[in-house]
Chain A
Amino acid sequence: MTNDQIRDQIRRFLTTTFPAAGVELTDETDLLEEWFVDSLGIVQTVMFLEQTFGIQLGRADIDAVNFRTVATLAALVEARLAG
């Protein structure tokens, strides 16, 4: 799976699960500032990533670096798929 495909799937999940009026979701949108409604959003995203891409995340993955943007989330997934 390419990085672009991963980004597409993450973007689709975020826009349908957390619709944010008036904010366009790009690969660089600051998710923590502008997108997630609350910390449950993080938990939901973890479950989505694990189920969709068949990866396992740990608590050390839950940080502001990985969850900053669609691009950083995709990079996390890509690293797990590769590794």
Chain B
Amino acid sequence: MAGLLGKPPVTDDQRRAHDRHDWRVVAAVLGMLALYLYLFTHAADYLGLPRPEPLARSLGLNIPHVFDGSHNVSSNVVITLTQRFDTNDDERMVFLLLLAAAFLSAYFLPLAWKQPALIFWSLVAVWLLYGSRVLAALLGAQLLVYLVLHPRRGDGWVAALTGLAFHWAFWWPAGALEPGLAGAVLVAAGAAALHGLVLRPLLARETSARVLRTLAVQSAIVTVTLGAVGEALTGRAWSLPLGILLFFWQWERLILYHVDYKDGRIPRRLSLTRFLAVFWNPAVIPNWNWGVSIGQGYAHVHDNFLAEDKNRLALAGVKLLGVALLYLIFWNWGRHLAVDFFEGLGIPVFNARTRSMVSHFVAGGEVSTPSVLATTFLDLARWTMLWAGVVHFKVAIWRILGFRMEPYMDRPWLATDLATFWRRFTFHYREFLVRAFYYPVFFRYFRNHPRLRVLAATLAAAGLGNLVWGHMTERLYYRGLEMENLLYVLGTWPYFLLLALGIAFSQIVLLRRRRRRPWTRDAWLLKDILAAWATLQYFALIHIFARPVPGSTLGDLTRLFLRGFGIEMG
């Protein structure tokens, strides 16, 4: 159970003891990054090497669904929401080269400079990949949060910097330095004055400080809710500046930061560098909006930095990069193989897409029980493989940069109950839900009623928190701040209810009996296999409610769901 609660924090002396250089490890990390560069970018062209597809063919490897139009390996690791370069291959190349620089800095610089270096390289990466105005908006928003959470004397310069960042992001005239410069001086002075005269006095009072902290931490959900309601009333949807959107995408990390803050795990007088180190790490940049909770909040990031020998951490990162590589290369090939297998058996699986099956069913098409089971199962396998490649890649980056970081996904097919599956499938996100929603309910309500206590806490976390703070916010950022999108997410409530009830049920059952370690080689091993399949299948089936299509009703989805159990209704 490594990673259950992490490990006790380490001291700087212990970190220094973990900071021994080993050139073989450096070579292994750089070698793996070079392999990524070769497979997923146009590096072969620059180096005069054959591209990956012709090379594979020359070696007799003709694997379909692996290569893209430019004869590289098609990749799901992308730099999200930017088009400053011609192709995503170029963006990946910039990122991987900067990652190599960040690794070398974090590896060889003295301890005090390692995390500042990671912040620096992240700033450079966002600047190059997204542009200076996006960088400024993102940085400005984070500086504002810092000012609200960590007020102290003498931070007027941070307020001035915040004003300057927003000025550059939103108001500085394009291509004109002088008029902008004059405005910048005014804005910086104004921001510092506003901070001293308004913000600091408000933060000195407990009630107004609490309101401001909540607004800062919950700004993402406040914005999407106001945006959706505003769109319903006026018919006009807000368009968020990219820098602000990137800030909002980190809302899970910000909420976890705030949980650490409330739990007293963060020094109130925290340096700006230590604050920024939580949010500015190269690992958050690729697929910015995937696995946002990886790394979690302040305590997790800082307690796990150089918490073990850095070479062991880096090699664990290289190993995980290798695992990610397998998923990134072969997931689509594996998907097609599985689809062809079931179709060959005469079981339609709708290209492993539950939504396609729902569409077919709603349109009056026939769907058999084996088809429901196989389609939902393969859909789960499809996006698990797709997701695994990316989240393993992100966790691996944290590791090679010196952080002891648990995998986001840890062989979920070994889970023999839904509670364990929840942890194995989405570890960091589960931690977000548990710390932000489960614990507050668990430690406040029904203390004398264990089952009710667990049920209420699980409904709060896997149900309400997961729906509103997890998926609702995400959906509105993906699809736009519109009421239609809000209602769409809220309409998927049966999925969240069934998930929460399933997790709560498995916890309550486990509370009642002595616990046997699953997958022990004894007479109950077959039961483990069946339990693992049932767990996966249940999780796959309830996704029918998370994939509504235009025109589908709750009744349609329920009938299809029950058909998965062989029950014909209506």
Contact = CB atoms under 8 A, between A and B. Distances in A.
A38 B515 CA distance: 10
B423 A38 contact: yes
B239 interface: no
Contacts of B7: 32, 64
Nearest to A60: B263
B434 A16 contact: no
Interface string A5-48: 00000000000111111000000000011011111111110110
Contacts of B515: 17-19, 37, 41
Contact of A39 (B263, B423, B518, B520): B423
B269 interface: no
Contact of B264 (A18, A33, A36, A60): A60
A81 interface: no
A43 B4 contact: no
B493 interface: no
Query: What class of interface size applies to chain A in its complex with B?
Result: 20 to 34
Contact of A67 (B5, B264, B514): B5
B443 A59 contact: yes
A13 to B, nearest CB: 11
Nearest to A61: B443
A22 B514 CA distance: 16
B442 A43 contact: yes
Contacts of A42: 4-5
Interface in B252-305: 263-265
Contacts of B518: 37
Contact of A38 (B263, B264, B420, B440): B420
Given A19-B516, A59-B440, A65 B423 contact: no
Given A44-B511, A47-B453, A32 B2 contact: yes
Interface string B1-20: 11011111000000000000
Contacts of B435: 59
A6 B388 CA distance: 43
B517 A32 contact: no
B454 interface: yes
Contacts of B454: 43
Query: What class of interface size applies to chain B in its complex with A?
Result: 20 to 34
A62 B5 contact: yes
Nearest to B522: A21
Contact of B507 (A18, A40, A60): A40
Given A36-B4, A38-B419, A64-B5, A57 B443 contact: yes
A64 B6 contact: yes
Contacts of A67: 5
A70 to B, nearest CB: 15
A29 to B, nearest CB: 12
Which of A19, A59, A63 is the most central at the interface, judged by chain B CB atoms within 10 Å of its CB?
A: A59
A43 B447 CA distance: 12
Contacts of B420: 38
A17 B6 contact: no
B439 interface: yes
A43 B507 contact: yes
Given A20-B517, A39-B423, A40-B419, A32 B507 contact: no
B337 interface: no
B243 to A, nearest CB: 33
A58 interface: yes
B50 interface: no
Given A21-B520, A39-B434, A32 B511 contact: no
Contacts of B423: 38-39
Contacts of B265: 60
B35 interface: no
B439 A62 contact: yes
A45 B362 CA distance: 47
Given A17-B515, A19-B516, A63 B5 contact: yes
B302 to A, nearest CB: 13
Given A18-B515, A68-B8, A33 B2 contact: yes
Contacts of B520: 21
Interface in B510-541: 510-511, 514-518, 520
Contacts of B263: 59-60
Contact of B1 (A19, A33, A65, A68): A33
Can you list the 7 inter-chain pairs with the closest CB atoms, starting with the nearest?
Answer: A59-B439, A60-B263, A64-B5, A18-B515, A64-B6, A65-B8, A32-B4
Given A19-B515, A39-B419, 18 more contacts: A17-B514, A18-B514, A18-B515, A35-B1, A38-B4, A40-B419, A40-B507, A42-B4, A43-B454, A43-B507, A47-B453, A50-B447, A57-B443, A59-B443, A60-B263, A60-B265, A64-B7, A67-B5
Interface of B: 1-2, 4-8, 263-265, 419-420, 423, 434-435, 439-440, 442-443, 447, 450, 453-454, 507, 510-511, 514-518, 520
12 contacts: A18-B514, A19-B515, A21-B520, A40-B510, A43-B442, A46-B442, A50-B447, A56-B447, A62-B5, A64-B5, A65-B8, A68-B8
